[in-house]
């Protein structure tokens, strides 16, 4: 079954307890937390202190997407704050193997992600070492952008390599995921869907999660009517 990871980037930050609670009640699997430093991406969000507060209000897996330079310097702080999955950008890590080892030593799952312009086969050397690949389906930095259909072939590639080599990393997608685009990426092999505006941007957060899940599952189980 597909996992749904609502991104709090589009949530009401003045009421995170309620918003995360509604996502949890609505059947979310992960809570996706976007960390932006104003250097790697042009936007700034929040750091370990806020992650620690969110850790207190939910037992869901905290899926932390680090859009930051010098990720190595902050891994421990984010892990101690409660991150379960730490995902770093290929473009921001000079010694990616070492970074992945550090994440594992901290007891977290390791994810690696890449910008739309980065070739997917550059991740070949790390696929056996990681628990998740995050395919960015928009340029990282902002919520509410339009899905980039060209990224579907990256998902197809990963799915192929995964089957061929018998690997079991998750394939997550992030950016412009909604009831229209979810079936396309699931069809290609994605099994974790990040969604910000199509969940927290909706009035009824619980229904939005259910609609997204239904759209995604309709591909795996065609009897489900969307």
- The residues of the shown chain that bind ligand DX5, judged by CB under 6 A, are 7, 9-10, 32, 34, 65, 138, 140-145, 174-177, 194-198
Catalytic residue among 37, 174, 211, 217: 174
Question: Beta strand 109-114 with 30-36: parallel, antiparallel or unpaired?
Answer: unpaired
Smallest distance from ligand DX5 to CB 222, Å = 25
Among 29, 34, 63, 178, which residue interacts with Zn ion (rule: CB under 5 A)? 34
Catalytic site includes residue 174: yes
Smallest distance from ligand DX5 to CB 36, Å = 7
Catalytic residue among 34, 170, 178, 217: 34
The answer to whether residue 131 forms part of the interface with Zn ion (CB under 5 A) is: no
Smallest distance from ligand DX5 to CB 194, Å = 5
| Rounded Cα–Cα distance for residues 85 and 63 (Å) | 5
Smallest distance from ligand DX5 to CB 114, Å = 12
Best CA proximity match to 34, nearest among 58, 6, 60, 56: 6
Stretch that binds Zn ion, among 42-50, 63-71, 91-99, 215-223 (CB under 5 A): 63-71
Contacts of 212 (CB under 8 A, 6+ apart): 4, 177, 178, 179, 182, 193, 195, 198, 199
Contact (CB, 8 A) for 173 and 153:
no
| Rounded Cα–Cα distance for residues 42 and 20 (Å) | 26
The answer to whether residue 37 forms part of the interface with Zn ion (CB under 5 A) is: no
Q: Which is nearer to ligand DX5, 26 or 141 (CB)?
A: 141
Q: Which is nearer to ligand DX5, 11 or 108 (CB)?
A: 11
Contact (CB, 8 A) for 27 and 210:
yes
Catalytic site includes residue 124: no
Stretch that binds Zn ion, among 19-27, 64-72, 103-111, 178-186 (CB under 5 A): 64-72
| Rounded Cα–Cα distance for residues 141 and 35 (Å) | 9
Contacts of 103 (CB under 8 A, 6+ apart): 75, 79, 86, 88, 109, 110
Residue 154 binding: pick among ligand DX5, Zn ion, none (C-beta 5-8 Å cut-off by kind): none
Structure tokens at 166: 């018998």
Contact (CB, 8 A) for 161 and 139:
no
- Positions touching Zn ion (CB under 5 A) are 34, 65, 174
């Amino acid at each position: 079954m597909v996992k749904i990871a609502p991104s709090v980037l589009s949530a009401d930050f003045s009421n995170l307890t309620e918003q995360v609670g509604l996502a949890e009640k609505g059947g979310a699997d992960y809570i996706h937390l976007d960390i932006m430093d104003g250097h790697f991406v042009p936007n700034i969000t929040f750091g370990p202190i806020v992650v620690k507060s969110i850790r207190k209000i939910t037992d869901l897996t905290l899926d932390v997407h680090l859009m930051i330079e010098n990720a190595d310097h902050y891994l421990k702080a984010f892990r101690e704050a409660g991150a379960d999955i730490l995902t770093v950008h290929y473009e921001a890590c000079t010694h990616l193997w070492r970074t992945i080892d550090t994440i594992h030593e901290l007891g977290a799952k390791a994810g690696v992600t890449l910008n739309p312009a980065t070739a997917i086969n550059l991740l070949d050397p790390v696929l056996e070492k990681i628990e998740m690949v995050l395919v960015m389906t928009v340029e990282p930095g902002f919520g509410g952008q339009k899905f980039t259909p060209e990224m579907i072939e990256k998902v197809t590639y990963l799915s192929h390599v995964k089957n061929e080599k018998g690997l079991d990393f998750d394939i997550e997608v992030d950016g412009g995921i909604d009831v229209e685009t979810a079936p396309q990426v699931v069809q290609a092999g994605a099994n974790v869907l990040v969604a910000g505006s199509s969940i927290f941007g909706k009035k009824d957060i619980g229904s939005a999660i259910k609609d997204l899940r239904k759209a995604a599952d309709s591909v795996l189980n065609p009897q489900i009517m969307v």
